[in-house]
Amino acid sequence: MKKILTIIGTFVLIFNYVEAQHARVVYDSTSVKMEESGLSHVYNHQRIRVLDYQGCKEYANFKLDYDPQSAYVEFKEVLLYRKGIAEPITIDIDSIYDYVAPARLIYWGASQKMLLIGHLNPGDEIEYTTYRKGFTYALLGDDSKYIPPMRGHFYDIVPFWSELPIEKKVYQLELLKSKNIQYKVYNGELIVDSVDLGEMVRYTFTKQNIEPIKHESNMVADNDVQCKLLLSTSPDWETKSRWFYGVNETYGSFVSTPELSSKVSELLVNAKNELDSISILTHWVADNMRYAGISMGTGEGFTLHNAQMNYTDRCGVCKDKASLLIAMLRAAGFVAYPAMTMAHERIDRIPADQFNHCVAVVQRKDGTLQPLDPTWVPNVRELWSSAEQQQGYLPGTPEGCDLQETPISPAEDHYIKVYAISSIDKEGNLISTLSITAEGQSDAAVRRVFSSQKSEWFNNLHQELRKIDPSAQLIELQHTNPEEYLQQPITITYSFKIPHYAIASNKELVFVPFSARGIFSRAMGHLYMNTDQLERQYPFADACSRLVEVNETITLPKGYTKAKDFPKDVIYNDSAASFQSSYALDENIFIFNQRVSLNKRVYEAADWPAFRNAVNSQKENMNRYITITK
Amino acid sequence: MKRISFLSLFLSLTLFVFAQQPDAEYKLIRHSYTINADGSMDYRFHKELVLHANRAMTAYATNGETFILYDPLNEVLTINDCYFVRPDGSIVETPANAFIQQLPSQCENCATYNGIREMVIVHTGLELEGTIVLDYTIHSHRFLNEHLYLVDDYPIKRYELTVNADPSHRYFIQPENLDRIQYNTYGDKGSFQLIAYNLPKRYVGQYLPNDNDLYPHVYLSNITLQDMERLLPKHSSISGNEEIKQFAQQFIKEDLAQTIKDIRNYVNDNLTIAKLNTSLILPNRLDADQVYRTNCADMLSQVSYLESLLSYAGINSEIDWGYVPLQVYEDQHYVIVDPQRTRIHTTIDGLPYSINPYNSSVDVRLENTAKDAVKSIDITETLDFNPDTITSHYAMFTIPVDPRGFNVKFQYITPYRDAPVKCRPINENYHYTVQLPAGVKLLNSVKKSFGKEGLGKVEVSITQKGQTLDIQRRLVIAKDMITISDMVTFYQIMNIWDYTSRLTFEL
């Protein structure tokens, strides 16, 4: 089981690439022996060839990560083969550096053992054998601290993919037959061999010539598309769910304190209904408990900090924020549980712990469990961030739950609307009042213009306008109070003028509707996606589903009533994405409408043509000139 | 609804000031240095930070943590006070598990500096309008080699700097740019105190001038030039290690400048560099053998190693450590080390060359011919008419400018900007003639001139005579820093320069 961490919801744009390879893995062999208790002994044997000086730099030190409270690691043997010399140099494995690893945000004392290999030259090879027992979270003392908290069980997630070429990779597991291991190979094939050893059984999984794939921009996680092996002795997700419930109930994570209960009463004094109460508590935790993890010692990583600690410290990681929310919901009379999830990566059916994030669920009056994420909703008008739609999660309940998946969030819930009322005079001067309003994740994206210090807000808002046209001259600026984000969707209204905006000849005005040009594109991540590729091999992801609506009415001088070569109306509908735009002229009133609907967060490769078409259509309108004549 | 109105742009072209409360504010920052009789030093730091806005403490803001770098093998860190004062006055003591001693990321992959530690303090119990209080001391044997800026991300109500020294030790303090702040200094032999009040927060924006030009700052040193030359010699001593020699010699090429550049780039790009404060590493610079063996160095040892590799490759060079010279005080010349000023000098074909050890993208340069910024551009040319067609009847043509010209993008300049702009003086003159095809007509001819004595001016004349287009554009910027009081005029100059750069034509 991995520690439950939080992946911060950033969206990185990358283009098709294969990482430059500075090293090559000659072989990578892992041998695991599992004891009845679940304790596993892991031996890893690798040989790596460095190919250039960058590789020499990367492998000048060799490090093993571990949590000293629950795992033990050691270097068994490290050999250095200088290029062209058969006899290896034995590296002194007693001269290790053992220290708490550099960290930001999560300060649990995760450690490293580092061995200095030293100066390398291209062509040198390093061969090492390491040993590990235990897990990556804290348990009890003595050898028992290495036994997993779900005692007697074992799981592993083994990537058979790599950013480095691997000539041969082998993973071997030996365990009691009675453990009934289940495994599955995803996204590829492995050579699988099993040997009956009497009471024990040994499985061997092998793959040769693993080459890094060519990544596509915005593609989903590597584990979703590249070859991996999942193994688990846990019979089903329900068992895991019951365990997760039990471990935190036993610890008393959600027991309220008088001080906390009093705070809950104070917060809910004006609550209007069930959902309002849930919202007040979720956003109070989101806004008032900082994301900074400190260690509770024994149990850290999988145990949720208790209410006393969370309310006093006012800081913690995702699991601790979820824990405080659960304690507050329970203090308010709700039934609430913790849940594990995997941000931005698929959870497959084999019940291995594919989790990197923790949230809460609350039982509504109709009996349904509603997920809540206090970590991802500071300044977001949601209870569950739709940046996590189409994502698996597992509530920890007394009865046990199967794996759940958050539904697609309709694009309409994440609209960004740009409305403008404008006029252009005979000289081409534009005067406009333009409003941007947004909801859901688009609201959060627009609202980020206020994430800097207050004294910088005005300048940042002004820059958004001037990014579109540096000649824009502001006349008036209004916005809703960004700090009261639950009160209403964000609205920002600019009044501005741009001298000589349109090309003005004796009888014609030529211009691009200002509203079409992508103001507040910070909330339209799709405009930054590389759409050069006609087809995709892999599924891809956007930050969230999204609806973009643009409407502009431009009053032209009297007599300018004829449209010249007007673009045709476009209506394009697909389940993945749709696009509509129209240009109309009613006497001297010009009207532009555009609607872009991107309907999911995670798309199949087959969705790409529809998605690409919608995005490219919007991009084309950003530069499409309109001619109106007398 | 927040509403900010401007009757018209140029009526309101006065400095726009937001009078709102800052997100957070330091009630007090105090730095105290005590130089003891045995030469050791106690550095004591105290801060009181009041949180006014959620942004200053929640989400992923880092103000809730403090990071202290020190060397526990040779230094002692003592936390004197660490707590949070809630708005109701109650105190939340920072618990023991909120103090984490870890390897600083600067020392990652660097065995030599694996003993350095970063004390992370996670301030707990934070609430709006409460105050983070922290007070700590580091007892060390460091030199006094500090350059302090009297500024932070938030305004500072009171800033104190105190230095006390045993009579057997001397030091020098050189404050600069204090003229624009409210302050007092006190002191006699051996002690110095500076108290400053109501310091504004750090500027934010593009094209900011150097910190030295923007903020009040103080140099503190007890290192004389003589001491420094002993600590940082111009030539590194080399052991004659054959392995290193062979390694260095593989870079040798016929082109000496290329050899020097390749060795510099190897050192700069393929060693792990621990970017540590010079006062922490100064007494214990690494020799070439240590750097070669561990593949890591600090910023000073990196330069020595480079000089050693050049020497092993048969290239004579010497290091100019680029000390910041302070004023002479009691016949002593005190200095500050600033690695960024360091250069390596060598001779190629009898001519003196220098190289920046830290920047792989710059060439080996002939000394005294360092690439000066272009100050004047004069271009007279006949251009082909190759416009971008925007409709079947109209086209747009962008007038070319020399890429060495004025370096400030207009997009980032607003008349309301409250931070100065760093730029460079320039005089750009363009005279283009363009022969237009029959029937093509310029739609936006212009003749405009605007400017202010001592700041700069713009002159533009674009006319069509028959089918000949005559373009004359001139931009003069006379200053290297645009002050806030000149911002409106500067904006107007740049606005004209920007909008007259694009011509539209009827085809």
pLDDT digits (tens, 9 = 90+) for B352-374: 999 999 999 988 888 876 556 67
Residues in B closer than 8 angstroms to A297, CB to CB, are 97
For residue B443, give the nearest of A290, A378, A504 by CB distance. A504
Return the residue of B nearest to A487 by Cα: B1
Q: Which of A292, A296, A565 sits opposite B122 (nearest CB)?
A: A292
Whole-number pLDDT of residue A136: 64
pLDDT 10s digits, B469-491 = 999 999 999 999 999 999 999 99
A259 reaches B (C-beta below 8 A): no
Give B165-205 as a DSSP string. Answer: E-TT---EEEEESGGGSEEEEEEETTEEEEEEEEEPPPP-S
Residue pairs between chains A and B whose CB atoms are closer than 8 Å: 213
Nearest residue in chain B measured CA to CA from A118: B294
Partners of B317 in the beta sheet? B346
pLDDT (0 to 100) of residue A142: 56
Unique residue bearing structure tokens 């250095």: A80
Residues near B169 by Cβ (< 8 Å), separated by ≥ 6?
A: B35, B37, B39, B222
Search chain B and give the residue with CA nearest A321.
B59
Q: For position B52, what pLDDT does the model report?
A: 93
Q: What's the Rg (C-alpha) of chain A?
A: 29
DSSP secondary structure string, A583-596?
Answer: EEEETTEEEEEEEE
The beta-carbon contacts of B300-305 under 8 Å, at least 24 apart in sequence, are B300/B232, B300/B337, B300/B339, B300/B342, B302/B267, B302/B268, B302/B271, B302/B273, B302/B357, B302/B358, B303/B339, B303/B342, B303/B344, B303/B357, B304/B236, B305/B236, B305/B267, B305/B271
> Could you tell me if A202 lies within 8 Å of chain B, comparing CB atoms?
no
* Chain B contact set for A497 (CB, 8 A): 9
Of B57, B101, B391, the CB nearest to A290: B57
Q: How far apart are CA A286 and CA A288, in angstroms?
A: 6
Mean pLDDT of chain B, nearest integer: 91
The pLDDT confidence band at residue B266, using thresholds 50, 70 and 90, is very high
Check pLDDT > 60 for residue B13: no
Q: With contacts defined as CB-CB under 8 Å, which chain A residues touch B208? A: none
Is the Cβ–Cβ distance between B375 and B359 less than 8 Å? no
User: What does the DSSP assignment read for B260-293?
Assistant: HHHHHHHHHHHSEEE---HHHHGGGPPPHHHHHH
B contacts of A379 (beta carbons < 8 Å): 59
Instruction: List, as ranges, residues 212-251 from A with C-beta within 8 Å of B.
Output: none
Cβ of B98 within 8 Å of Cβ of A294? The answer is: yes
According to DSSP, the residues that pair with B217 across neighbouring strands are B149, B176
Decide if B414 and A510 are in contact by the 8 Å CB cutoff.
no
Q: What is the pLDDT of residue B269?
A: 96
Compute how many other C-beta atoms are within 10 angstroms of the C-beta atom of residue A312. 16
Please identify which residue in the block is written with the tokens 């744009």: A13
Contact check, Cβ <8 Å, A102/B105 = yes
Which of B6, B122, B417 has the CB atom closest to A315's CB atom? B122
Interface of A with B in 358-417 (CB under 8 A): 378-379
Residues of B in contact with A478 (CB under 8 A): 1-4
Spatial contact of A413 and A389, defined as CB atoms under 8 Å apart? no
- Lay out the sheet containing A111-116: strands in order across: A61-66, A111-116, A96-100
The pLDDT, as a whole number, for residue B1 is: 59
Q: Which residues contact B410 (CB under 8 A, 6 or more apart)?
A: A470, B494, B495, B497, B498
Question: Does A298 touch chain B if contact means CB atoms closer than 8 Å?
Answer: no
Residues of B in contact with A100 (CB under 8 A): 100-103
Please give the share of chain B, as a percent, with pLDDT higher than 90: 79
Residues of A in contact with B105 (CB under 8 A): 102
Between CA A36 and CA A40 the distance in angstroms is: 9
Chain A: residue nearest B272 by CA? A57
pLDDT tens digits for range B373-411? 678 999 999 999 999 877 888 999 999 999 999 989 998
Averaged pLDDT for residues B255-280: 95
Chain A 431-470, CB below 8 Å of chain B: which residues? 451-459, 462-463, 466-467, 470
ipTM: 0.93
CB interface of A with B, residues 22-61, below 8 Å: 53-54, 56-57, 60-61
CA atoms B349, B351, B354, B360: torsion sign: negative
Supply the pLDDT for residue A16: 43
Q: Please give, one letter per residue, the 3-state secondary structure of B95-157.
A: CHHHEEEECCHHHCCCHHHCCCEEEEEECCCCCCCCEEEEEEEEEECCCCEEEEECCCCCCEE
Residues of B in contact with A479 (CB under 8 A): 1-2
User: How close B332 gets to chain A, by Cα (Å)?
Assistant: 41
Q: Which of A454, A499, A500 sits opposite B53 (nearest CB)?
A: A454
Q: Which helix (H) or strand (E) holds A311?
A: helix A307-313
B416 touches chain A (CB under 8 A): yes
Helix A258-267 with A274-288: angle, nearest 10 deg: 120
A275 CB near a chain B CB, below 8 Å? no
**Distance (Å) from the alpha carbon of A497 to chain B's nearest alpha carbon:** 9
Q: Do A451 and B126 touch (CB under 8 A)?
A: no
Residue ranges of chain A whose pLDDT lies below 70? 1-20, 136-144
SS3 B373: coil
Q: Please answer yes or no on whether A97 and B111 come within 8 Å at the CB atom.
A: yes
pLDDT of residue B129: 96
What are B92-129's pLDDT values in tens digits?
999 999 999 999 999 999 999 999 999 999 999 999 99
Selecting from B97, B391, B414 the residue whose C-beta is nearest the C-beta of A466 gives: B414
If you measure CA to CA, which chain B residue comes closest to A111? B102
pLDDT score recorded for residue A70: 87
Partner-chain contact B100 A481, CB within 8 Å: no
pLDDT at site A135: 75
Cα–chain-centroid distance for residue A569? 37
State the pTM of this model: 0.94
| Residue B367 confidence (pLDDT) | 81
Chain A nearest CA to B124, separation (Å): 5
Task: Give me the DSSP letters along B294-314.
Answer: HTEEEHHHHHHHHHHHHHHTT
Q: Is A476 helix (H, G, I), strand (E, B) or coil?
A: strand
Q: Cβ separation of A451 and B60 shorter than 8 Å?
A: no
What is the rounded CA–CA span in Å between residue B412 and residue B410?
Answer: 5
Nearest chain B alpha carbon to A455: B18
Show which of residues 68-127 on chain A sit within 8 Å of chain B, judged by CB atoms.
Answer: 97, 99-105, 107, 109, 112, 114, 116, 118-121
Q: Which of A102, A470, A505 sits opposite B102 (nearest CB)?
A: A102
Angle between helices B299-312 and B256-270 (to 10 degrees): 140
Is B266 part of the contact surface with chain A (CB cutoff 8 Å)?
Answer: yes
Residue B141 token pair: 């044997």
Q: Please state the length of chain A.
A: 630
Query: Cβ distance A608 to A216 under 8 Å?
Result: no
Q: Would the CB atoms of B97 and A53 count as touching at under 8 Å?
A: no
Beta-carbon separation of A471 and B499 below 8 A: yes
Phi, psi angles (nearest 5°) of residue A187: 60, 35
Selected for mutation to probe chain B from A459, A485, A507 (highest B CB count within 10 Å) is A459
